[in-house]
Amino acid sequence: MKKYAYFPGCSLEKMAISYHDSALETTRALGVELEELEDWNCCGATTYFHLDEILANTLVARNLAMAEKQGLDLVAPCSACYKNAYFTNAYIQEDEDLAEHINYALEADDLQLSGDLSVHHLIEIFVNDVGVEEVKNKVTRPLEGIKIVPYYGCQIVRPRKDGENIEDPQFFEELLTAMGAEAVDFANKTRCCGGSLLISNRRAALDMIRILLQNAENSGADVIATACPLCQVNLECYQAQVNDEFGTNYAMPVMYFTQILGLALGIPRKKLRIGSELVSAIPVLSKYLKKEVS
């Protein structure tokens, strides 16, 4: 059983608790152990980078150093956390000066970081480690007949990592297909949801959400799958405000890919917290849930 240090990030504590629970359920079902990082701290999201780059990297580095201490590779379910962890880890290896600064600060907490570990997004665990074929073998409730948007968002694929198709990635589609679902060809799959703007520029954020919802509806999707708590909250919780602002009428369920995967793996919906969404996914999922007594 492959084991990872799991860094849930602040959002998964409560706001995205359904992501947290479904992540643990699905990894367990597929033989992956996630050991929550002991005493992790906020990675600073995008906001700390507004203030100081070294400090922001230091926050990230503390979590990396703790994973390194545990001798495990790090997994983050939140794309923003993942991006921060991935790049701080890379910078530490490339830039001795930065490493020295950061390690000086880490001494305050008895930690050191060499950058020897690798950093993964949760979805990569299923795609690369478990493997799409294995996922397919474990599916007990194939999601036939449902059309799902594979919404990558921005920070899983960006900034650049060598050798990856960052403009037209395919791994999310492959994962959805393995579950028996139909992955919608979604033109805006890596377009930003406006997540970090909701506070600073609400109208811009709502407009960005609107464009994604419009694209999802036009492509005939039943549900949007995300791999990031920020994307999920933006696309789902702000739908009502988008409708208000633009006079639209969207009612598109937005789910974590782990919830959908859990469903396909036959995990009871309560354990996946399906039903805690503001735009209920139950209607589009009802045919798969029939056998479940809730």
Partner 1 sequence: MSEKKHPDNKERVGVYVCHCGTNISKVVDVEEVARWAGEQPNVEVSRDYKFMCSSLGQELIEQDIKEKGLTRVVCASCSPHMHEKTFRTACERGGLNPFLFEMTNIREHDSWITDDKEAATIKAKSLVRGSIDRVVHHEPLDQIPVEINPNTLVVGGGIAGITSALELADAGYHVYLVEREPSIGGHMAQLDKTFPTLDCSACILTPKMVDVGQHDNITLLTWSEVEQVDGFLGNFTITVRKKARYVNEEHCTGCGICIEKCPFNVVDDIFEAGMGTRKVIYRPFPQAVPKYPVIDKENCVYFQKGKCKACEIFCPTEPNSIDFEQEDEILQIEVGNIILATGYDLFDVKRIPQYGYGKLENVFTSLEFERMVNAAGPTDGKIVLRDQETKPKSVAIVHCVGSRDENYHKYCSKVCCMYSLKFAHLVHERIPDAEIYDCYIDMRTPGKGYEEFYNRLLEEGTHFIRGKVAEITDAARIPEEEGKLIVQVEDTLIGRQRRVPVDMVILSPAMEAREGSKEVSQLFKMGCDFDGFFIERHPKLDPVATMTDGILIAGACQGPKDVPESVSQGAAAAARVAGLISRGTVMMEPVRASIDQDACSGCRICNNMCPYNAIIFHEEENVSEVITALCQGCGTCVAACPSSVITGAHFTNDQLLSQIEGILWDMRPEKVTA
Partner 2 sequence: MADKLTFSREISNLMYAGHGSPLNQCIQCGTCSGTCPAVEFMDQTPRRLIGMINADLKDAVLNTNTYWVCASCYHCTVRCPAKIDIAGAMYAVKRYSIWFKTYSDDLVGPVFSETFMKTIARNGRSYEPILATSYIFGFGAKEFFKEVQGATKMMLKGRIPVLPSRIKRLKNFQSMIQHIIPVGEEE
Residues that bind partner 2 (CB under 8 A): 10, 13-17, 39-42, 44-55, 57-59, 62, 87, 91, 94-95, 98, 101, 104-110, 154-155, 158-160, 166-167, 190-192, 194-197, 199-205, 207-208, 211, 237-238, 240-241, 244, 276, 278
Question: Residue 121 pairs with which residues in a beta bridge?
Answer: 76
Cα separation, 234 vs 172, in Å, equals 20
Q: What is the DSSP string of 117-155?
A: S-EEEHHHIIIIIIIHHHHHHH-SS--TT-EEEE---ST
Count of residues in the chain = 294
Strands 147-150, 119-121: parallel, antiparallel or unpaired by DSSP?
unpaired
Per partner kind, with CB cut-offs from 5 to 8 A, the member of partner 1, partner 2, none near residue 20 is none
Q: Which of partner 1, partner 2, none does 106 bind, CB closer than 5 to 8 A by kind?
A: partner 2
Which 3 state secondary structure label does DSSP give 91? helix
Which residue ranges make up the site for partner 1 (CB under 8 A)? 165, 167-168, 187-188, 211, 214-215, 218
| Comparison of 41 and 70: residue with beta carbon closer to partner 2 | 41
Of these partners, partner 1, partner 2, none, which one is at the site of residue 251 (CB under 5 to 8 Å by kind)? none
Spatial distance between the Cα atoms of 5 and 8, rounded to a whole number of angstroms: 10
List the structure tokens of 201: 């520029």
End-to-end CA distance of the chain: 32
In terms of CB distance, is 50 or 287 closer to partner 2?
50
Q: Of 165 and 294, which CB lies nearer to partner 1 in the complex structure?
A: 165
Would you say 160 or 290 has its CB closer to partner 2?
A: 160
| Least distance to partner 1, CB of residue 136, Å | 25
Q: How far apart are CA 100 and CA 266, in angstroms?
A: 48
187 touches, from partner 1, partner 2, none (C-beta below 5 to 8 Å by class): partner 1
Residue with tokens 């890379």, as numbered in its chain: 90
Q: Which does 107 bind (CB under 5 to 8 A by kind): partner 1, partner 2, none?
A: partner 2
The smaller minimum CB distance to partner 2, of residues 46 and 214, is found at 46
